[in-house]
Amino acid sequence: MTSKQTFATVEPKLAIGLHNWSIDEPDSWQFLLDRAVAADRAGIDQLVVSDHVVFGENLDAYAKSELGGRDGGRQPTGSDGHWLEPLTLLSMIAAQTTAIRLSTGVLLAALRRPVVLAKTVTTLDVLSGGRLDLGVGIGWQKEEYDAAGLPFAKRGKLLDHTLSVCEALWTNSPASYQSEELQFEKIHCKPGPLQPGGIPVWVSGTINERVLQRVVRFGSGWIPWGDFTENPVPGIEPIHRALRDAGRDVDGFKIRGMLPVRADDKGRIDLAKSVAPAPRLIDAGVTHLQLNLPLANEYHTVFEQLSEAVDVFDKATGRANSRAAVGVAAND
């Protein structure tokens, strides 16, 4: 097993999803950058964007868990929806923010050539000041793999190969690599990642043998999928057990959970009700709570929305008191 970075205990973090897609083409995408800057300044800890490179027209496949989708799930756009490439978008966001962590949730990493992906994400990590979290998954759409000239049936193996090559290039200089698919020796890929141990990889998936192996081999975190998306708790012990069995420390291993947005009896967003499950999830081992609020487009309104969300989250989790004790402001 390749050694991983040493983990420290993780303080609960509040994340938001940024919709890097649109059903129709907007006049401008500036609203996304404004939302990201507002989130950074409001004290949101992590920003998450998703990935689709191309679409076929069989969107019903998303609702089939046997293909990698979610039972009953539905894509938010049609086949002709507009999706921004996540790493490019995050590079724009990195240039305009200072503290918020930048995450893919998830990147279909196997669709990128491994050596190019290693260079791309390292560049983003360095230029962002070491703020990148690389969430990866295998996806559900055969047409994306067809368009990339890759076998959909081998997408798990392709992802493992991609991560293996990236890890070799991130952690060694010169790097060597030997597998059935690829061989190279004395290869330099500089600059290396700014973060010690390489860029944190968050593995997405349900609980099965292949996902557990991928988590143990590459993972600094787990992004629950399938039935575990809404309730990750039953998956935490199998994840922790697999890590311990492999000799890895679970202290500081990161797990993302979702906080569904709740409304009051008048149909208005109720932040207190929305974040109420957070303490229970944190006690179970979830470290990052993602709250996908419907956000306005105007910067000052988004800033007020997210500042309030941070305040409610801090009070619900007791985080505000711990921060005050060490003199750390909510937006530092």
pLDDT of residue 9: 57
DSSP 8-class letter at 47: E
How does 48-87 read in b/e, with b if 16+ C-beta sit within 10 Å? Answer: bbbbbbebeeebebbeebeebbbeeeebebeeebebbebb
Would you tell me how many other CB atoms lie within 10 Å of the CB of residue 237? Answer: 12
CA–CA gap between residue 70 and residue 84 (Å, rounded): 22
CA–CA gap between residue 118 and residue 120 (Å, rounded): 6
Q: State the pTM of this model.
A: 0.92
Q: Where are the domains of the chain?
A: 13-323
Structure tokens at 81: 């929806």
CA–CA gap between residue 189 and residue 175 (Å, rounded): 8
Strand, helix or coil for residue 22: strand
pLDDT of residue 72: 86
pLDDT of residue 53: 97
Q: Which residue type is seen at 218? A: F
DSSP, residue by residue, 258-296: E----B-TTS-B-HHHHHTTHHHHHHHT--EEE--PPPP
pLDDT of residue 197: 82
pLDDT tens, the chain, 332 aa long:
343 443 345 689 999 999 999 999 999 999 999 999 999 999 999 999 999 999 999 999 999 998 899 888 999 999 999 999 999 999 999 999 999 999 999 999 999 999 999 999 999 999 999 999 999 999 999 999 999 999 999 999 999 999 999 999 999 999 999 999 899 999 999 999 999 889 999 999 999 999 999 999 999 999 999 999 999 999 999 999 999 999 999 998 999 999 999 999 999 999 999 999 999 999 999 999 999 999 999 999 999 999 999 999 999 999 864 444 333 343 44
- CATH architecture entry for 13-323: Alpha-Beta Barrel (3.20)
